[in-house]
Amino acid sequence: MTNSAIFIDRDGTISDEVGYVNHVSRYRVFPFSGEAIKLINVSPLKSVLVTNQAGVARGYFKEEVIGQVHSKLREELGNHGAKLDAIYYCPHHPTVGEPPYRQECNCRKPKPGLLHRAADDLSINLQNSYMIGDRYSDVKLAHSVGARGVLVLTGYGRGEYEYQRDQWTREPDYVAEDLLGAVKWILGEEAKD
């Protein structure tokens, strides 16, 4: 018995893209995110956040800031009765900073390490899963593991969609205005099966 999941990028997707969130006070959850995650929670799918936080390797902030930010995220989602089933992050960078954060890891998206870790921990079948993000690299990551990829137009999404689309090797499975639209599309697809 395996689970399906919706993997969700953090900055630009569930919360505002403000550059490096080097202090919890900079972190802004989008107003629609609680409703979106709640919809996942009442479906059979798991909700899993996956985020690159190379600001740690770059020395812009300590790893504990990530924990503070994720506490704030969980609290705000909780206000809507919503919860993430798991959160995974990559604090590494291949060339900047000091070890252990400076390393050629397998978890910095679009590498698939975070998804594989989640798949092991939560018995997720990646081929029946989805990844939502505001970068085409998130869509590519989805396709590289056999999942479906949804681009949202929040964060970097609109710019990538308007100016980079001609370089895409494979279209996203869906392009949504925002996380809520993406989740509604996915749950509609799931209802077809």
Interface positions, 39-58, toward Zn ion (CB under 5 A): none
Report the C-alpha gap between 35 and 32 in whole angstroms.
Answer: 6
Near Mg ion by CB under 5 A, which window of 23-31, 105-113, 134-142, 162-170?
134-142
Half-sphere exposure for 23 (CA within 13 Å, toward CB): 2
3-state secondary structure of 44: coil
Catalytic (active site) residue 11: yes
**What is the C-alpha separation between 69 and 84, in angstroms, rounded?**
14
Judged by DSSP in three states, 26 sits in helix
Query: 86 to 105, contacts with Zn ion by CB under 5 A?
Result: 90, 92, 105
Among residues 4, 6, 8, 12, the one that binds Mg ion under rule CB under 5 A: 12
* DSSP letter (8 states) at residue 29: B
Q: Closest approach of Cβ 193 to Mg ion, in Å?
A: 28
For residue 109, state whether it binds Zn ion (rule: CB under 5 A): no
CA distances from 28 to 10, 70, 73, 168 (A): 11, 11, 8, 30
Indicate whether 176 belongs to the interface with Zn ion (CB under 5 A).
Answer: no
Which one of Zn ion, Mg ion, none interacts with residue 109, CB within 5 to 8 A by kind? none
Amino acid at 180: L
Q: Closer CB to Mg ion, residue 125 or residue 136?
A: 136
Query: Among 5, 7, 9, 14, which residue interacts with Mg ion (rule: CB under 5 A)?
Result: 9
Active site amino acids? 9, 11
